[in-house]
């Protein structure tokens, strides 16, 4: 199976992707991981990417597309893959279609884990981290026994700036603006599958697996 996995920050995309990899042996292809690996390996594409990253610029689409193409052509990706974080835009989706055509690969599904913004805000802004040991908590879903105190080491729990309400709202707004045209693009194919992300992690996973079975 070859799938694209979509989901806003806080939708649980990373957790579901990891479980699919563990259970089915798919290659997990994340553009962030690809860029870091290419830079570390000092490959031709990695050297180009590094120059942009070090100067604080966004890595150009074409360079990311070249990295994705190289990765999709590797042996383990022939057994099935999950694309995580790519495509992000309609132009990237068009480029992905061209790559898949060139490589003779068929995309089986585009899975979007859909969660309302208010739920995403609740999930993300409730996160707390221990300053001392890095343990993570959530004020609603996984609270510490004593407020703002780590159960493991007694350290102080704090909220990252990234998890503050205004920052999260801005991130979700950017994601929605970028992703809506992409979702519309895939809705025009028979590949789009929307999963109710408000459910428990276990039920979301069951729905993803069931939808993949149907699309075979």
Q: Which residue has the tokens 């991130």?
A: 171
- C-alpha–C-alpha distance, residues 47 and 66, integer Å: 13
- C-alpha–C-alpha distance, residues 5 and 109, integer Å: 9
For the question of residue 36 being annotated catalytic, the response is no
For the question of residue 88 being annotated catalytic, the response is yes
Token pair of 127 as six digits? 């996160």
The single residue of 152, 160, 170, 206 carrying the catalytic annotation is 160
- C-alpha–C-alpha distance, residues 74 and 130, integer Å: 40
3-class SS at 45? helix
For the question of residue 13 being annotated catalytic, the response is yes
Token pair of 117 as six digits? 């913004």
The single residue of 13, 48, 71, 123 carrying the catalytic annotation is 13
CA atoms within a 13 Å half-sphere pointing along the CA-CB vector of 69:
19
CA nearest to 156, candidates 183, 129, 187: 129
The single residue of 50, 88, 122, 169 carrying the catalytic annotation is 88
3-class SS at 72? helix
Contact 36, 97 (CB under 8 A): no
The single residue of 36, 122, 169, 171 carrying the catalytic annotation is 171
- Active-site residue list: 13, 88, 127, 160, 171
């Amino acid at each position: 199976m070859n799938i694209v996995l979509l989901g806003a920050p806080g939708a649980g995309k990373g957790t579901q992707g990891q479980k699919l990899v563990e259970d089915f042996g798919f290659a997990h292809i994340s553009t962030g991981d690809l860029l870091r690996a290419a830079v570390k390996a000092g490959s031709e594409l990695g050297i180009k990417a590094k120059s942009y990253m070090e100067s604080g610029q966004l890595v150009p689409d074409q360079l990311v597309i070249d990295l994705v193409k190289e990765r999709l052509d590797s042996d383990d990706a022939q057994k099935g893959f999950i694309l995580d974080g790519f495509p992000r835009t309609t132009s990237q989706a068009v480029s992905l279609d061209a790559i898949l055509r060139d490589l003779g690969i068929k995309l089986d599904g585009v899975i979007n884990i859909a969660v309302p913004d208010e739920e995403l805000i609740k999930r993300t802004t409730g996160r707390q981290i221990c300053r001392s040991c890095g343990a993570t908590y959530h004020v609603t879903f996984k609270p510490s026994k004593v407020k703002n105190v780590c159960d493991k080491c007694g350290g102080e729990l704090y909220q990252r700036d990234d998890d503050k309400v205004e920052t999260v709202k801005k991130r979700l707004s950017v994601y929605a603006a970028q992703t809506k045209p992409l979702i519309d693009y895939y809705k025009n194919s028979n590949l789009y599958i929307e999963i109710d992300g408000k459910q428990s992690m276990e039920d979301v996973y069951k729905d993803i697996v069931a939808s993949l079975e149907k699309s075979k």
